[in-house]
């Protein structure tokens, strides 16, 4: 479980601290470009570093050239958390940072266990070398940016336990796996989907043709030449019985329905991640469906003591279902850098919680109060 996040010179975050309450469900709100996605990205990088090497995690658009605030020579993310409950609870801190030295970025990972004195600091290939429970606590995090068109694609999987990819591909094989291996979970998923999108009757999976490209080798005059061969093979696609008709193929199902189905498939999967990072969680959903989605989140969190969900949203309907301590409000200072406070830090919170819903409170107060009195511009 993550408890504290500190970002330094991470894009628009010159110095941002987040204190996550014990609810395990946390919202990031704020105007466009206020730094919500960047927080999810920083956390996802840390998680990936628990099983992958620096060079694989921080490539291309995630290179420190782009992550470090323009003009700065260092960038870092520090996360404090714990693993286990009661007597088994172990506190830990894990971080990465890059320092620019002679135009070259030097990466460093560090970690610390609460019970032990001192910290281990230095250049490590990845956080997988950190002591238990740090890799376990960080390893199963997923950053979802579901795309309805990807969820609707017919797909084929060679994996014994297929999983929906971060963009939503592989939905049909994953659902097929859930239906045959964990039928109770599959039924639960359907019930939750029906609560959020009441027109849904039943979710099905049927066989469908999938185009795959395979690499082939031929030998000509003793030389191996590789070429791509397009093939059609049998895979699967999702079909949904709706109140308007049965067996409607996924590509004709509404976007909000497919996005919800994809998200729920992640949430009920027996190989569920520990930390789910969700960007723009309400995309495509009606206000009532948004409210229902948060109550589904709460139920799933209740049933899974290791699951934590951090999401960004622009919706007061989503925020309405949360308490002020679950809402992190981001605002930009005059020079554009991010400031962040929890809604329960607002000076009028006591009065507001008696008179207003959390969404109404945020709507009425906006974000400017977050930077009132801030002088570090």
Ligand X SMILES: Nc1ncnc2c1ncn2[C@@H]1O[C@H](COP(=O)(O)OP(=O)(O)OP(=O)(O)O)[C@@H](O)[C@H]1O
Site for ligand X, rule CB under 6 A: 11-12, 30, 32-38, 66, 68-70, 312, 336
Q: Pick one of ligand X, Mg ion, none as the site partner of residue 30 (Cβ within 5 to 8 A by kind).
A: ligand X
Q: Pick one of Mg ion, ligand X, none as the site partner of residue 43 (Cβ within 5 to 8 A by kind).
A: none
Q: How far is Cα of residue 323 from the mean position of the Cα atoms in its chain?
A: 21
Minimum distance of Mg ion from residue 24's CB (angstroms): 22
Minimum distance of ligand X from residue 90's CB (angstroms): 31
- In terms of CB distance, is 8 or 41 closer to Mg ion? 41
- In terms of CB distance, is 11 or 346 closer to Mg ion? 11
Minimum distance of ligand X from residue 70's CB (angstroms): 4
Stretch that binds Mg ion, among 31-39, 60-68, 125-133, 205-213 (CB under 5 A): 31-39
Half-sphere exposure in the Cβ direction for 38 (13 Å, CA): 29
DSSP string, 148-186: HHHHHS-B----SS----TTSTTHHHHHHHHHHH-HHHH
CB 266, CB 255: distance < 8 Å: no
> What's the rounded Cα separation, in Å, for the pair 182 and 271?
11
Half-sphere exposure in the Cβ direction for 267 (13 Å, CA): 25
Helix (H/G/I), strand (E/B), else coil: 372: coil
Minimum distance of ligand X from residue 14's CB (angstroms): 9
Minimum distance of Mg ion from residue 139's CB (angstroms): 25
Which helix (H) or strand (E) segment holds residue 327: the answer is: strand 327-332
- In terms of CB distance, is 30 or 173 closer to ligand X? 30
Q: Pick one of ligand X, Mg ion, none as the site partner of residue 11 (Cβ within 5 to 8 A by kind).
A: ligand X
Q: How many residues bind Mg ion (CB under 5 A)?
A: 1
> What's the rounded Cα separation, in Å, for the pair 348 and 317?
21
Count Cβ atoms below 10 Å from residue 230 Cβ, excluding itself.
8
Residue nearest to Mg ion (CB): 37
Residue 112 carries which DSSP code?
A: E
- In terms of CB distance, is 33 or 182 closer to ligand X? 33
Stretch that binds Mg ion, among 34-42, 211-219, 225-233, 282-290 (CB under 5 A): 34-42
Cα→Cα distances 187→44, 161, 184, 197, 256, Å: 30, 18, 5, 15, 20
Q: Pick one of ligand X, Mg ion, none as the site partner of residue 44 (Cβ within 5 to 8 A by kind).
A: none
Q: Pick one of Mg ion, ligand X, none as the site partner of residue 287 (Cβ within 5 to 8 A by kind).
A: none
Q: Pick one of Mg ion, ligand X, none as the site partner of residue 33 (Cβ within 5 to 8 A by kind).
A: ligand X
Binding test (CB under 5 A) with Mg ion, winner from 15, 37, 52, 357 = 37
- In terms of CB distance, is 165 or 280 closer to Mg ion? 280
Q: Pick one of Mg ion, ligand X, none as the site partner of residue 328 (Cβ within 5 to 8 A by kind).
A: none
CB 58, CB 64: distance < 8 Å: yes
- In terms of CB distance, is 7 or 264 closer to ligand X? 7
Q: Pick one of ligand X, Mg ion, none as the site partner of residue 74 (Cβ within 5 to 8 A by kind).
A: none
Cα→Cα distances 3→20, 64, 111, 298, 341, Å: 5, 25, 15, 18, 15
DSSP string, 200-247: EEEEEEEEEEEEEEEEEEEEETTEEEEEEEEEEEEEEEEEEEETTEEE
| Contact status: 254 vs Mg ion (CB under 5 A) | no
Picking from 22, 2, 293, the residue whose alpha carbon sits closest to that of residue 141 is 2
DSSP string, 66-85: HHBPTT-SEEEEEEEEEESS
- In terms of CB distance, is 23 or 33 closer to ligand X? 33
Stretch that binds Mg ion, among 5-13, 37-45, 107-115, 213-221 (CB under 5 A): 37-45
- In terms of CB distance, is 11 or 112 closer to Mg ion? 11
Q: Pick one of ligand X, Mg ion, none as the site partner of residue 38 (Cβ within 5 to 8 A by kind).
A: ligand X
- In terms of CB distance, is 35 or 359 closer to ligand X? 35
Report the interface residues with Mg ion, using CB under 5 A: 37
């Amino acid at each position: 479980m993550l408890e504290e996040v500190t970002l330094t010179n991470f894009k628009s975050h010159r110095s941002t601290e987040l204190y996550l309450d014990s609810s395990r469900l946390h919202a990031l709100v704020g105007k466009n470009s206020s730094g919500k996605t960047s927080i999810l990205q920083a956390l996802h990088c840390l998680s990936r570093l628990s099983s992958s090497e620096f060079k694989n995690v921080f490539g291309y658009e995630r290179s420190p050239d782009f992550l470090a605030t323009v003009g700065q020579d260092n960038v870092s993310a520090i996360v404090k958390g714990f693993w286990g409950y009661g007597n088994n609870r172990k506190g830990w801190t894990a971080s990465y940072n890059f320092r620019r030295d002679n135009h070259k970025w030097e990466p460093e990972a560090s970690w610390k266990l609460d019970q032990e004195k001192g910290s281990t600091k230095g250049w490590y290939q990845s956080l997988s070398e950190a002591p238990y429970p740090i890799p376990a606590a960080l390893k199963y995090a997923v950053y979802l940016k579901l795309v309805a068109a990807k969820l609707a694609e017919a797909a084929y999987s060679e994996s014994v336990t297929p999983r929906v990819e971060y963009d939503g591909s592989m939905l049909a094989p994953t659902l097929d796996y859930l239906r045959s291996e964990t039928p109770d979970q599959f039924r639960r998923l359907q019930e939750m989907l029906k609560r959020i999108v009441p027109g849904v009757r039943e979710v099905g999976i049927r066989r469908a043709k999938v185009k795959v490209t395979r690499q082939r080798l031929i030998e000509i005059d003793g030389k191996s030449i590789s070429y791509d061969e397009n093939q059609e093979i049998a895979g699967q696609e999702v079909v949904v019985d709706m109140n308007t008709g049965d067996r409607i193929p996924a590509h004709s199902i509404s976007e909000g329905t497919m996005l919800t189905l994809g998200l729920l498939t992640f949430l009920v999967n027996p190989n569920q991640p520990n930390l789910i990072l969700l960007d723009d969680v309400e995309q495509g959903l009606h206000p009532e469906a948004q409210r229902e989605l948060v109550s589904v989140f709460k139920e799933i969190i209740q049933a899974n003591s290791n699951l934590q969900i951090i999401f960004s949203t622009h919706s007061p309907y989503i925020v309405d279902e949360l308490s002020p301590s679950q809402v992190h409000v981001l605002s930009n200072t005059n020079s554009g850098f991010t400031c962040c406070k929890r809604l329960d830090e607002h000076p009028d919170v006591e009065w507001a919680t008696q008179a207003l819903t959390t969404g109404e409170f945020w709507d009425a107060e906006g974000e400017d109060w977050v930077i009132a009195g801030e002088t570090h511009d």
